[in-house]
Structure 1
């Protein structure tokens, strides 16, 4: 499902939702265990899993950016800075597994926004596939497909 994007007081919120047939604890581990995190977002690592701790982003040039964790409630909420933006994961228990919600706060819509949105969309699809024991050889093709969809989606917002 494509993300919803809504205007808020200071920018925009993109919200992605995925239904998972896995426990809250298992889902949480895919967001916070570096071995699992590496499988769906190899550039991102947990550096200090606590409020005030940090996520670490490998810039692929020998440097790392620290992204502050701004909210942490184990098995429920992980929010961290994403440069000028923020990313928030929420896990909501349900009778048959849980719902995983990702919210990205976007200050300004730019030409790069559809790339980020397609990336997050794909990350969530990869998490679900890995949790379900499926292979993920389809990343490049899927990213391109979703990028094209998010270009249309962002253009429909009338922000440019």
Structure 2
């Protein structure tokens, strides 16, 4: 596994975060579009997104095929095209974009409600960010969850047993490490 692309688990007081950093070969405006455009989100993000991108706005996150109940959230920060933060169910997602090099540095931080979901969510967000890159690059995508089983064992090993107590959706089951 590419350690640079792997999420890093951090503790801040009683809160746990997973931080991902990616170098994307596209300008911030293009990356911003992939983070906020409903059509592009449908390709890489794990749920749909319903609502306005404005601070304080309520969001709804319906799952494809209504596999799970929709989650809800609120837009916390929006500074186009540099910062986007919102709650996604019980978690908080923060995207920071910075122009540099040949494109954009993406700093993505997930603040978790529960440590036990860190390995599951780390593998899921890793795959989602890989899919984001496919959107940006115009490459062929794969069904979300297809690579989760491949990524999950390395996240369980890196994050440890306390961060691995909450498992995946049944359709994404992975062999135990």
TM-score, normalised with respect to structure 2: 0.80
Contact 1:15 1:104 in 2 (8 A): yes
Residue matched to 1:108: 114
How far the C-alpha of 1:108 sits from its partner, in A, is 2.7
Count of residues in Structure 1 that have an aligned counterpart in Structure 2? 159
> 1:142 aligned to 133, 140, 147, which one?
147
Cα 1:159–1:149 change in 2 (3 A) is: closer
How far the C-alpha of 1:134 sits from its partner, in A, is 1.3
What are the ranges of 5 or more consecutive residues in structure 2 without an aligned counterpart?
A: 166-177
How far the C-alpha of 1:138 sits from its partner, in A, is 6.9
Cα 1:39–1:101 change in 2 (3 A) is: same
Residue matched to 2:62: 58
TM-score, normalised with respect to structure 1: 0.88
In the alignment, the residues of structure 2 paired with residue 106 and residue 85 of structure 1 have an alpha-carbon distance, to the nearest angstrom, of: 5
In the alignment, the residues of structure 2 paired with residue 64 and residue 6 of structure 1 have an alpha-carbon distance, to the nearest angstrom, of: 28
Cα 1:47–1:22 change in 2 (3 A) is: same
Q: Secondary structure at the match of 2:85?
A: strand
> 1:39 aligned to 27, 39, 43, which one?
43
How far the C-alpha of 1:149 sits from its partner, in A, is 1.1
Residue matched to 1:87: 93
How far the C-alpha of 1:85 sits from its partner, in A, is 2.2
Higher relative strand content: 1
What are the ranges of 5 or more consecutive residues in structure 1 without an aligned counterpart?
A: none
Question: How much is the aligned-residue C-alpha RMSD, in angstroms?
Answer: 2.3
> 1:76 aligned to 59, 82, 86, which one?
82
How far the C-alpha of 1:157 sits from its partner, in A, is 7.3
Cα 1:3–1:26 change in 2 (3 A) is: same
